[in-house]
A and B are shown apart, each in its own frame.
Chain A
């Protein structure tokens, strides 16, 4: 007798999870898929089903000076800021990885804070700070992205160091290596994949970043996401935006493939 309501509950449960899964995957993936499809549209406006495929909007993208410049600038900003972020995150992780106590805990919280802190407030704070100290636009933008990317590097390297056997460094020390030597000869070769993964993550974050960039970009220093945003606001949704967006997605695919080669991306899913 009692098995019947249980079975019914199970059937209802299955129906609910199946429906929710369809809805969730639609909400998450539909916008990206539609961008990729419309980017190859041969017509002035997207019609469904598309009458064919063309690269005209990608040609248009590279023909527009603003778009091309924004793409190149985004790459430069991402390269520099990810490198600075990797340096900061690695140093912080090395200093804190084997340390307990409330000071280390507090510092860890401080280094991870930009992950959850509302970035739009950070963007505003940096805008006012840069104005009061006269920081030039481009380095300011790169540093802002480095601050946002550093926690990803910190977390990645910190995780790598936690799983590292301290006996290896002790062995280095007992053989007479000073802290610098044992770092370069023992620790660095073992954690560099996590550093590289952190760097790639910081690159991705910078390449798509909006909330600080919206305050810190200006004429001549506009990143691709901001260029897409202002184009959408002031020129409307033309298909060159789809091409720009598809390029953004393509760039991420390349970076994700790189992460997969370096560390295996499954680790990142679990560490989130």
Chain B
């Protein structure tokens, strides 16, 4: 490339880079700074520096319970997504290429529909006047509507609705590129289907599982609307507390909660990568 061409190349980088710094890196840095400031009743934050926003959270039993519940829910959703998503991806990966693209496309479509619409779908199914309750009442099976909504189960189902497609698409793409000769080799060496799955197929699909798991986990942590509409006030997770602090104008506290959430996300992503080790698979580390 000519010198002029190189200059031009870096020149056009300036605009997106400036926007990225001004509207992504900068505001996050400011948020971190605010999390270390004293609260103020008139301004966004006070003048003094303090760690109290974090230490208060660490000492609060309520917060500890919510953090515990958040992690528990996230791992439950992750486990369900993996347990349901892997067999589906397996099936899709074995389809002929044309049919496979069509099915993956069908799974991509719901991802584009707003989360609030899909959460509302569950409200319409599980709510007091939802399909399940009205149908059962008409049939005379129950006299009063059952409380199906505002339960942890409803939250898990609603989150799976949003997240399963990510898991299935990631794993199916990894499995589809897998050379079937690996399995044949394992079989010819005497490995049964289960052994061959555990020692050959699953490790080779680790990059797809890892990218699916990371997406599922990160999106679970910030799925505020789904959690609120399906979990109600009694199934709050960490992200609900961030929102509540904002509504109460507790800016430094909201900022500290956001960074606790981010730290949990990063730590868990590290854990997922350490367990699945996608880098083992050549060309698989993404």
A interface list, Cβ under 8 A from B = 5-6, 9-10, 13, 16-21, 23-24, 27-35, 38, 45-48, 87-89, 91-92, 94-96, 98-99, 107, 110-111, 113-114, 116-122, 124-129, 131-132, 143-144, 146-147, 150, 154, 173, 178-180, 204-205, 207-211, 214-215, 224-226, 228-229, 232-233, 237, 241-242, 245, 248-249, 252, 255-256, 265-266, 268-270, 272
Q: Tell me if A91 and B13 are in contact (CB < 8 A).
A: yes
B237 CB, nearest partner CB in chain A, Å:
11
Does B151 reach chain A (CB closer than 8 Å)? Answer: no
Q: Tell me if A121 and B258 are in contact (CB < 8 A).
A: yes
Closest Cβ neighbor of A119 among chain B residues: B222
Closest Cβ neighbor of B128 among chain A residues: A237
Q: Tell me if B88 and A128 are in contact (CB < 8 A).
A: no
Chain B, interface size: which category?
Answer: 35 or more
Which of B63-71, B158-166, B275-283 binds A?
B158-166
Subset of 10 A-B contacts with CB under 8 Å? A18-B91, A24-B168, A27-B160, A35-B120, A110-B17, A129-B30, A252-B109, A252-B113, A269-B108, A270-B101
Looking at the complex, which one of A13, A16, A116 makes contact with B218 (CB distance below 8 Å)?
A116
Known: A31-B125, A32-B117, A228-B116. A214 touches B101 (CB 8 A): no
CA distance in complex: A255, B112 (Å): 10
B185 CB, nearest partner CB in chain A, Å:
16
Give the chain A neighbours of B131 by CB distance below 8 A: 34, 46, 48
Closest Cβ neighbor of B98 among chain A residues: A266
Q: Tell me if A20 and B113 are in contact (CB < 8 A).
A: no
Q: Tell me if B193 and A9 are in contact (CB < 8 A).
A: yes
Q: Tell me if A124 and B246 are in contact (CB < 8 A).
A: yes
Q: Tell me if B164 and A31 are in contact (CB < 8 A).
A: no
CA distance in complex: A21, B90 (Å): 10
CA distance in complex: A95, B84 (Å): 41
Q: Tell me if B125 and A30 are in contact (CB < 8 A).
A: yes
The A-contacting residues of B in range 28-50, CB under 8 angstroms, are 28, 30-31, 34, 44
Q: Tell me if A129 and B87 are in contact (CB < 8 A).
A: no
CA distance in complex: A131, B108 (Å): 36
Does B180 reach chain A (CB closer than 8 Å)? Answer: no
Q: Tell me if A27 and B164 are in contact (CB < 8 A).
A: yes
Does B96 reach chain A (CB closer than 8 Å)? Answer: no
Does B78 reach chain A (CB closer than 8 Å)? Answer: no
CA distance in complex: A134, B173 (Å): 45
Known: A21-B87, A121-B28, A124-B242. A27 touches B157 (CB 8 A): yes
Q: Tell me if B224 and A88 are in contact (CB < 8 A).
A: no
Q: Tell me if B108 and A272 are in contact (CB < 8 A).
A: yes
Closest Cβ neighbor of A45 among chain B residues: B129
- Apart from A124-B255, A127-B246, A245-B120, what are 19 other A-B pairs with CB-CB below 8 Å? A9-B194, A24-B84, A34-B131, A46-B129, A48-B134, A88-B16, A110-B20, A121-B258, A121-B262, A205-B112, A210-B116, A214-B243, A215-B246, A229-B116, A232-B120, A232-B229, A237-B124, A245-B121, A266-B101
Does B118 reach chain A (CB closer than 8 Å)? Answer: yes
Known: A119-B222, A121-B31, A256-B112. A88 touches B215 (CB 8 A): no
CA distance in complex: A205, B114 (Å): 8
B175 CB, nearest partner CB in chain A, Å:
12
A189 CB, nearest partner CB in chain B, Å:
18
Q: Tell me if A31 and B165 are in contact (CB < 8 A).
A: no
Q: Tell me if B112 and A252 are in contact (CB < 8 A).
A: yes
A200 CB, nearest partner CB in chain B, Å:
10
Closest Cβ neighbor of A180 among chain B residues: B8
Give the chain B neighbours of A132 by CB distance below 8 A: 30, 44
Q: Tell me if A269 and B101 are in contact (CB < 8 A).
A: yes
CA distance in complex: A84, B6 (Å): 24
A72 CB, nearest partner CB in chain B, Å:
16
Give the chain A neighbours of B158 by CB distance below 8 A: 31
Q: Tell me if A31 and B114 are in contact (CB < 8 A).
A: no
Q: Tell me if B193 and A10 are in contact (CB < 8 A).
A: yes
Known: A210-B116, A256-B112. A269 touches B27 (CB 8 A): no
CA distance in complex: A252, B88 (Å): 25
Give the chain A neighbours of B229 by CB distance below 8 A: 229, 232-233
